[in-house]
Amino acid sequence: MTVKRRNHGRNHHGRGHVRPIRCDNCARAVPKDKAVKRFHVRNIVESAAIRDISDASIIDSYQLPKIYNKVQYCISCAIHSHVVRVRSVVGRRNRDPPKRFFRK
């Protein structure tokens, strides 16, 4: 039978069952190994107030902490919100991680 993906869209090998998680967008129950997981990294303080806080702080080189929020999407919501993109048949075989773009 024709196979669309090498891992059948899952990441469990040798495990019979994986507990479901809830999609953060639509609350659909998705197996944990199939869900699209990303970290949203944000500053605790919005960008307008960062300068005010840095001017008022006593410590010169104080680094403001960040919020690390793990979001988990079902495949439908991940595609709809452009977290992942649809790839061609040839592009699906590429298993390399995507290129990382660093801000200058």
Q: What is the pLDDT of residues 4-54, one digit of tens each?
A: 888 888 999 999 999 999 999 999 999 999 999 999 999 999 888 888 888
Q: What is the pLDDT of residue 72?
A: 97
> CA 55, CA 52: separation in Å to the nearest integer?
5
Residue that has been written with the tokens 């196979």 in this structure: 3
> CA 79, CA 26: separation in Å to the nearest integer?
13
Which carries the bigger pLDDT value, residue 79 or residue 95? 79
User: Could you tell me if 37 and 11 are in contact, meaning their C-beta atoms sit under 8 angstroms apart?
Assistant: no
Q: How many CB atoms lie within 10 A of CB 38?
A: 14
Three-state SS for the chain is CCCCCCCCCCCCCCCCCCCEEECCCCCCEEECCCCEEEEEEEECCCHHHHHHHHHHCCCCCCCCCEEEEEEEECHHHHHHCCCCCCCCHHHHCCCCCCCCCCCC
The arithmetic mean of pLDDT across residues 66-77, rounded, is 96
